[in-house]
Amino acid sequence: MTGLRRYRTVVSDSALWAGFRFRDGDVVISTPPKCGTTWMQMLCALLIFDSAELPRPLTEISPWLDATTYDTEAVIAGLESQRHRRFVKTHTPLDGLPFEAGVTYVCVGRDPRDAMLSFEHATANIHPDAIAAGGLDQHDGPPPAEDPLERFREWADAEFTPESAWFGVSLANLVHHVRTFWDRRDSPQVVLFHYADLKADLPGQLGRLATALSIDIARQRLEELATAATFDRMRNRADELAPGVDANLWRSNKDFFRSGTSGQWRDLLDHATIEHYQRRVAELAPPDLAEWLHRGRLR
């Protein structure tokens, strides 16, 4: 782990990757929170098992390896016992992960404004018992503002930090996470997807993933498998697919899959806040990355 940046929050620690032994063919799914992590896990599962029926809940097949809320030794032992191709979840950026030959690193980007609102809905859905059990009610710092516009501005203005007493969620951290992949997007081991592209052409993006993972699959089969990863299908299987179901994390597993839509920020943000946001993005990201984050369509 020498030379890697260490990322720590109240629920994760990237140093836990030191205990994991990679295999040729492993897939690491590394996304900012609420940018399509579970969606990408499902797409990997569909291709690797060539089936919409999973042998176990998704969170057990594809665990969050560096989460501190789980028994890390048990998680790693479970991954060691897997005989199928492994795909592992993390919210650690690429500069905090061991970069191993033969491993594919997948990132999903999303319009940061949508990610921020989705995160707010997700935190409101966390069960109070899970908050207390995980120590999530013990985080330092001032409480979030009651005004949603003020919370948005606080999120936009927060500085990047690899260590956070809460979840490390800010515009700066999201842009930094994606940029660690963007700057290495020409590597054959690095693959970038965008939430909007997945929504626009799920079979086509599933085909992109198959190519990246060197999985030979017919177009007709891609179409069939992609139907299992639509929002409604995944929401109907929430007890099997939502993260944290084994720990009773959510008030409602179905509400983890809240809407799957984009652009809801337009109903919240006024003109001044949008301009403020745009200036902040320009400070954090080069123009090509900023355009891709908001529009997708990687060329």
Assess whether 91 carries a catalytic annotation: yes
- Tokens 């891709």 correspond to 292
- Please say whether the dihedral angle defined by the alpha carbons of residues 236, 125, 261 and 106, taken in this order, is positive or negative: negative
Radius of gyration of the chain (CA): 18
Q: Where are the beta strands (DSSP E) in 126-265?
A: 190-194
- The Cα–Cα gap between 158 and 26 comes to 34
Identify the CA nearest to 290 among candidates 216, 179, 127: 179
Is residue 276 within 8 Å of residue 89, measured between CB atoms? no
Identify the CA nearest to 183 among candidates 86, 262, 271, 286: 286
- The Cα–Cα gap between 89 and 199 comes to 21
Identify the CA nearest to 168 among candidates 2, 14, 3: 14
- Please say whether the dihedral angle defined by the alpha carbons of residues 40, 45, 51 and 54, taken in this order, is positive or negative: negative
- Provide the 10 A C-beta neighbour count for residue 291: 12
Candidates 91, 176, 177, 194; catalytic one: 91
- Please say whether the dihedral angle defined by the alpha carbons of residues 273, 275, 278 and 280, taken in this order, is positive or negative: negative
Is residue 19 within 8 Å of residue 34, measured between CB atoms? no
- The Cα–Cα gap between 43 and 222 comes to 10
- The Cα–Cα gap between 10 and 135 comes to 8
Structure letter (DSSP) for residue 250: B
Residues that are catalytic: 91
